[in-house]
Amino acid sequence: MFSTQLKQVFCLILQYSISEEGISSQHLSHLLWPDRPADKVKNSRGVTINNLRKTLSELEGIELIHEKGHYKFILHEAAYCDYVRFLEIVSSHGLAAHRDEFTQIVSKGKFLYLSDDPLFDTFKEEAETKLEPILILEIEKTYAVETYQNTISLSEALFHIDPLNETALLYQIKAMQKLKMQEEAAIAFRTFAIEYKRITGKEFHRTFSSMTS
């Protein structure tokens, strides 16, 4: 339902709706149409916003408002956004009670992985900076309480942020071995070693046996 430009507008408004009062009309215009004359920008923005409102009218629980010169989304109970839910879980300090839901969200893949748009570089960086230390802690916790499949899933999520994270590899392999997934553990190690050499130009400095002892 969303064109490329509507995706851009949607993500930009969402980004500024979470922790701020929204994104100003001027800032939105500058990000999307930096080189256009002011009169052309106003028309383009109006058309794009109208198209976004029309598309959102097909969905339940989300409202686009324009208040004090700022665009902002209001999400009602009927609306579900995995990014917003992720932030709610993390900020609640009750992650243990929602660990399975958290794992399901972050296991979907890299944040905004379908978009290489530089407009979202800061958005992605902020999300990954918030997520990485949480993942490392949760990987250790899930392994300690023997929910090994969650350990594996969270390790994969950490690889999306840092493909050479040795903590993720170590716990992934150990969890696989606990689940009698010996062949999968060996494949995970070889895959990591190949990626390590591709990125660094060097052989991985650890052996499979050193990570399983």
Q: Coil, helix or strand for 92?
A: coil
Using CA atoms, how far residue 66 sits from 49, 73, 164, in Å, is 10, 9, 43
**Which tokens sit at 136?**
């490392």
Q: What is the pLDDT of residue 123?
A: 83
3-state secondary structure of 138: helix
Task: Tell the burial category of 153 from Cβ atoms under 10 Å away from its Cβ (0-12, 13-18, 19+).
Answer: buried
Nearest CA-CA partner of 66 in 32, 30, 21, 119: 21
Q: Retrieve residue 98's tokens.
A: 């929602």
- 74, β-bridge pairs: 63
Q: How high is the pLDDT of residue 112?
A: 81
Q: pLDDT value at position 79?
A: 86
The overall longest dimension of the chain from CA atoms, in Å, is 68
Task: Characterize the bridge pairing of strands 23-24 and 62-67.
Answer: unpaired
Tokens 């992605």 -> residue: 124
CA distance 196 to 2: 37
Q: In whole angstroms, what is the distance from residue 49 CA to residue 55 CA? A: 10
pLDDT of the chain along its 213 residues, tens only?
888 889 889 989 998 888 778 999 999 998 988 888 877 888 899 999 999 999 999 888 999 999 889 999 998 888 888 888 888 888 877 788 888 889 998 988 888 877 777 888 888 888 888 899 999 999 999 999 999 999 999 999 999 999 999 999 999 999 999 999 999 999 999 999 999 999 999 999 999 998 876
Place of tokens 């976004």: 52
Structure tokens at 102: 């958290």
Element (H, E) at 67: strand 62-67
Helix (H, G, I), strand (E, B), or coil: what is residue 210?
helix
